[in-house]
Chains A and B, each alone.
Chain A
Amino acid sequence: MDQHLLDVAIELFAAYDVPIEQCAAPSESGLLGNETYCMSSIGYVGNGVKGVLILAATRAAAEAWTTAAGGMECDLVDTVGEFSNMLLGRLKGRLLKEGIPISLATPMTVIGDGLRTSIAPGASSWQFFEGPGWHLGTRLDAAFEPGFRREETPAAPAEAGDAILF
C-alpha cells in the first residue's frame, strides 16, 4: 500500500503538471515541522480493513496547488481537502484492482501553524514529497481485521480522467 500511495501521489500532481519528488522528512521534529499549515484526513472502510488517509501541506504547497488547479480564488482548506479526496480516490482504484474495495468518507481539513497528528494505530507510515518551494506529507493508516481476504475477480475501475457517456 505504501508503494501505491507513492505512485498515486506522483501521478496526481503530474496530472496538474506539478512535478514532485519523494524526499526525507523535512523536519527533525516530524511531519513538516512548524511549516505544517493544512492537514486533511479522509476515513475509509472495506471488508475487513479500515483506516485514514492524511495529507499535510505547507501553505506554499496549498497555494501552488490552487494555482495549478486553475488559479481561481479559493479557500486553501478546500484545495487541500479536494487534493486529499483525489489522492484517496486514485488509491481506491488501485486497491480495487487488487481485490480490496473500499468506501471513502468526505475529507475533513484543518488549518493552523505547526499542526501535528496523533500516533496511528495499526500499519502506518509517512511519505514526504517536495515540489518547487514546498513540501507535503502523506500517511495512510490501515487496520486489517483477522481473517481479512482479498476479493476474487476484481472488476477494473474507471481511471482518473475517464469520461464515460451511457
Chain B
Amino acid sequence: MTARVMVIDDSMLVRRQVSAALKTPGYLVTEAVDGVDALEKLAGLTDTKLIVCDVNMPRMNGIELLEKLSAQGSAVPVVMLTTEGQPELIQRARSLGAKGWIVKPFKPEFLVATAAKLAPLGA
C-alpha cells in the first residue's frame, strides 16, 4: 500500500527535491505552488495522508493555510518545510496544529523518517 503526500512550495526546485525523496520509499506525491493551489487540489483528493508545506509563499502562505485547514477541521498532518527558524513562528504553527518543522536545506532521510512517522506506508 502507498500513501499520498502533498508538497506545497512556490519553488519548483524544492517540490522536485521533496518529491524525489518521498517517491523513493513509495509515496505518491502531489505538488501545489501555494496555499490557494493546495486548497483547490485538496478538495479533490480524499487520500492525502501528509502535507509538507513552505511558509513564505505568494497568495496564501503556510501559516494562513494552517489556519484554513484548522477551520475546516482537517485531520491531515502538516509539516512545515521552510528557511524560517524563528521560535515565535514555530510556536504559531504548532498552535495551529502543525506536527513538525523542518528548516531548509533538508536532509532527505529526515524527511522520509518524518513521513514514516506521520503517514506510514501500509497503514
Contacts and interface: CB of A to CB of B under 8 A. Distances in A.
Contacts of A72: 13, 16-17, 20
Contact of B103 (A16, A105, A162): A162
A89 B16 contact: no
Nearest to B94: A166
A74 B105 contact: no
Interface size class of A (residues with CB under 8 A): 35 or more
- Secondary structure type dominating chain B contacts: mixed
A160 B103 contact: yes
A89 B117 contact: no
- For chain B, the bracket of interface size reads 35 or more
Given A72-B17, A74-B13, A89-B84, A161 B105 contact: yes
Nearest to A90: B83
A93 B85 contact: yes
Contacts of B83: 85-86, 88-90, 92, 104, 160
Interface in B68-96: 82-88, 90, 94
A17 B98 CA distance: 31
Interface string B39-80: 000000000000000001110000000000000000000000
A69 B15 CA distance: 12
A58 interface: no
Interface of B: 10-14, 16-17, 20, 56-58, 82-88, 90, 94, 98-107, 110-111, 113-114, 117
